Structure 1
Amino acid sequence: MINVAVIGTGSISTKHIAGFKQFADRCKVVALMDIYPEKSKKLNEQYNLNADIYSDHQELLKREDIDVVSICTPPYTHASLTVDSLNAGKHVLVEKPMASSLKECDEMNAAAKTNHKILSVIAQNRFLSPMFKLKNVLDSGELGKIAHAQIDSFWWRGHSYYDLWWRGTWEKEGGGCTLNHAVHHIDLLQWMMGAPTDVTAITTNVMHDNAEVEDLSVAIFRFSKGRLGQVTSSVVHHGEEQQLVFQGEKARVSVPWKVKASIAKENGFPHDESDISLEKKIEDIYDRYPKLQHEEHTGQIDNFLTAVEKGEPVLIDGEQGRRTLELIMAIYKSANTGQTVKLPLAKDDPFYTSEGVKANVRHFFEKKNNIENFSDNTITTGTLNRH
C-alpha cells in the first residue's frame, strides 16, 4: 500500500484526492497539509479520509511511512516543497506549472536524480483518449509533412478571478494565462511536434485590471523543416472553445476530432470532393487506438502509481515539465523584448531565474484586491476534447 500526503488543499487538490481514491487497493491518503488547516479538515471529512492534518510541511515530511507527496500549492512554492519532499525520500507528483523558473526546474530534477525518486509534473490533458488517438495519427505519417499547428487555449475567467491573494502577480503566480492555463496546450504541442527552434510573441492584458500579468497572448513557434505553430493563450474567450489543429501535406486533423483531405484541381484549387479513401484510412487509425481506462488526473495518477510500484518511467517527468516551461519563458522573453527568441534558453539568460523574469517583465496593472479564500472554489473547465 502506497501512503500519500497531499500538500495544499485548495480547489485543485480535490482532483488529486478523488484520483487517489479511485485506486484504494493501491494507495491511501494519510496526511493533508495546508497553511489554512480548516480547508484540510473540510476535505478530510468530505472524502472520508481519516487523514492526519498538518500546517507545516516539514513536520509532515518527518513521517517515514509516507511514500508519495502530491503538491497542489501556488506555483511559487512548487520548487521548495518538491526539493524538500524528494530530499526526505518521497516520490513527488507536482501540479502545473512545474515551477516559476527554469533554475527551479533544474534544482527539482537534480533532487530527483540525487535521491533516486520519481518526479512527475501534472499534464492531465495528455491523459485523454482523443489526445492519444491524435498523437497516434500524427505518428503514423499518413498526413505527410506537418506544415502548421494551431493551438487555441481559450478560457474565460471573470474579473474576480485575480482577487485571490496569490493570483495575478509575477512573484507568486509567476505569470498569467500563458503559464497557468495554456501550459496544458503548450505541453501537448511539444509532445506532438517536438522542440521548436525559436518563438515570436506578444502579450497583453485587456480585461483584468486587478492583475499584473497577461490575460491574452499570441505566440508563433518555428520548428525544423519550416514548420510553424501558433498558440493563442487566453482567459478572455467566452465559450472556451479550445482546439488543436494540425495541417499536413495530405490532410488536416484536430481535437475536437475532424479530418479533411483536400484534392487539388489542375489549377491548384480544391475539388469539391475530398480524398475519401485517405480520410477513411486516417479515421481507421484514430478509431483503432483504444480508449484509455483512466483519464485526466486519474489517468496520470494511475501512471504515477505504476511507476512507483514497478520502477517504470512516468509519461511526464521533470525533464518534460521543464521543456514546457522553457517554451513559456521564451514567450515571455519575446513579448517583453520585442525580439524573436532562439531556443534553448541558456543558464545566463535573464529569463532563466525568477529574479530575472520579475526584473524584465511588464506589469500591466497593479494588483488591487486580495481575498484570502473564496467561499466556493469549484473548478469549471473548458470544452477541449469533450466531443
Structure 2
Amino acid sequence: MLKVAIIGTGAISPSHIEAYLQFKDRCKIVALCDLYPEKAEVRREQYGLEAKIVQDYKKLLQEGIDLVSICMPPYVHAQVAVDFLNAGSHVIVEKPMAASLKECDDMIEAARNNDKVLSVIAQNRFRNPIMKLKQVLDSGLAGKILHAQVDSHWWRGHCYYDLWWRGTWEKEGGGPTLNHAVHHIDGLLWMLGRPSHIQAYMANVAHDNAEVEDLSIAMMKYPNGALGQLTSSVVHHGEEQQYVFQGQFARISAPWRVTASISLPNGFPERDLELEGKIQKYYDELPDLPYEGHAGQIDNVLSAIEHGTPVLIDGENGRSTLELIMSIYKSASMGENVQLPLQKNDPFYTQEGAQQNVPYFYQKGKSIENFEDGKITTGSNYGVKK
C-alpha cells in the first residue's frame, strides 16, 4: 500500500484526489499540505480522508511518503520536487513541469540520482480519442504528415488574473502558451516529434491586469519539411480544442474525423471512401483505455512503481514540452526564427534570463489571495466537436 501526499489543495487537487481514490487497494492518501490549512481541511472533509494536514511540505520529508502529487504554482515545482525526490519519494508534478529548463534539468537529475519515478501531468494522453489518434498516426494509414494544426482555445474572464500568483512572469511563468496549451504541446510532440524551427507572435488583447500574453500563434517547421501551426489562447469563446493532421493520404483529427482524397484526371479531389473506411475500421477496433484523464496517468505511475516499468510521461517529456514553449516565447519576444534545441547558454534556459527578455504587457493591478471554490474547465474530451 503506497502512502500518498497531496502538496497543494487548490482547484486542480480534486482531479488527483479522485484519481487516487479509484485505487484504494494500491494507495492511500495520508497527508494534505497547503499554505492555507483551511483549504486542506475542506478537501479532507469533502472526500472523507484520514489524512494529516500540514502547512509546510518539509514536515513530510521524513514521513516515508511513497508518492507525492505536486499541485502548486509552477514557480515552486522544482524545489518541492527535488526535495521529495532526495527524500526518497516518487513524484507526480502538475503542468507545467517547472518555471525554466534549468529547473527541469535539476528535477530530472534528482530523479535519476535517487532512482525514483518523476512524471509530469499530461492527462490528455490518457483520453481515448487522443490515444487512438496517436495509434492511427503510428499505423501510417494516413501517410506522411504534411501539416499539423493545433488549436488550444480557452476563455478566461478579466478577473482570472486577479489571483495573486497568476498573470506574472515570475510566479506563473507565462500565459496560455505555458499554462493552457501545455497539454496540446505535449500531445503534438508525442505524435510528431520536435520541430526544428519556431516563428511566433504573442499579444495581450483582453487582460490589462496581467503582465503575460493571453494569445499566441506559433508556426513550426519540421526536419522532414512538414509545417505546423499552434494557437494558444484564453480569448476564444467556446473553448474548442483540436488536433488536425493532414497526411499524404488522409486527414485525421481529434475530435475524431477522417477524410481522404484521391485525384481526378484534372487534379481536383474526389473522396477516397475505401481508405476512409479502412482507417475508420482501424480506429473503431482500437481498445478503450481502462482509465482516462488523471486516473489513467496515476494508474500508469502506480504500475511503474509497483513493477519497475517506464511511465508514459516522464521528466524528459515534460522538459521537451517546456523547451518548445520557451522557444515560442523567445521567438515572440526577440522577433527571431528560433532553432531547436535550446542550448544551456541561451537566455531562455533560465527563469531569470527569460524574465529579462519577455515583454511585460501590463502591470498587475490587483492581487487576491484566493477565489471561492467554483467550477473550473479542464478542456474538451475530444469526443464530439462542440
- Structure 1 distance, partners of 2:172, 2:100, is 11
- Measure, in 1, the Cα distance between the counterparts of 2:225 and 2:49: 53
Q: Would the aligned equivalents of 1:176 and 1:213 in 2 still touch at CA under 8 Å?
A: yes
> SS of 2:60's equivalent?
helix
Matched, 1:333 2:330: yes
Q: 1:5-63: CA deviations, max 9, x gaps?
A: 01000010110000000000100000000110000011001000110000011111121
1:134 corresponding residue in structure 2: 133
Task: Read off the aligned partner of 1:192 and give its amino acid letter.
Answer: M
Runs of 5+ unmatched residues, structure 1: none
How many angstroms apart in 2 are the aligned matches of 1:112 and 1:336? 32
The counterpart of 2:344, out of the listed 320, 344, 347, is 347
Amino acid at match of 1:310: H
Per the alignment, residue 70 of structure 1 pairs with 69
Partner of 1:118: 117
Aligned length: 384
SS in 1 for 2:263: coil
| Matched position secondary structure for 2:262 | coil
- Between the aligned partners of 1:382 and 1:28, the Cα distance in structure 2 is 28
CA contact under 8 A between 1:242 and 1:384: conserved in structure 2?
A: no
Matched with 2:15 is 15
Asked if the contact 1:246/1:253 (under 8 Å) is kept, the reply is yes
1:196 aligned onto 2:195:
yes
Determine the structure 1 residue equivalent to 2:159.
160
Counterpart of 1:307 in 2: which secondary structure?
A: helix
Letter of the structure 2 residue corresponding to residue 36 of structure 1: Y
Give the SS at the match of 1:254.
strand
How many Å apart are 1:384 and its aligned residue?
A: 4.5
Aligned residue number for residue 307 of structure 1: 304
Counterpart pick for 1:358 among 355, 359, 383: 355
The normalised TM-score by structure 2 is 0.98
CA contact (8 A) 1:10 1:377 kept: no
* Cα distance in 2, alignment partners of residues 132 and 77 from structure 1: 31
Equivalent-residue separation in structure 2 for 1:21 and 1:275 (angstroms): 47
In the alignment, is residue 376 of structure 1 matched against residue 373 of structure 2? yes
Map 1:167-246 onto structure 2 (within 5 A). 167-246=166-245
Q: How far apart are residue 145 of structure 1 and its match?
A: 1.2
Provide Cα deviations, 1:240-264, integer angstroms capped at 9, x if missing partner. Answer: 1111000011110000010000121
Q: Secondary structure at the residue paired with 1:192?
A: helix
C-alpha offsets along residues 196-254 of structure 1, whole Å, 9 cap, x if unaligned? 10100001000111100000000011112210111000000000111100001111000
Task: Say whether the 8 Å CA contact 2:256–2:383 is kept in structure 1.
Answer: no
Task: Give the AA of the match of 1:345.
Answer: L
State the AA in 2 paired with 1:361: V
Identity of aligned residues (%): 64
- Determine the structure 2 residue equivalent to 1:102: 101
Take 1:89 and 1:137, find their aligned partners in 2: how far apart are those partners? 39
Q: Secondary structure at the match of 2:252?
A: strand
Residue 82 (structure 1) aligns with: 81
Query: 1:3 matched to which residue of 2?
Result: 3
Consecutive unaligned residues in structure 2, runs of 5 or more: none
Aligned partners of 1:279 and 1:37: how far apart in 2?
Answer: 55
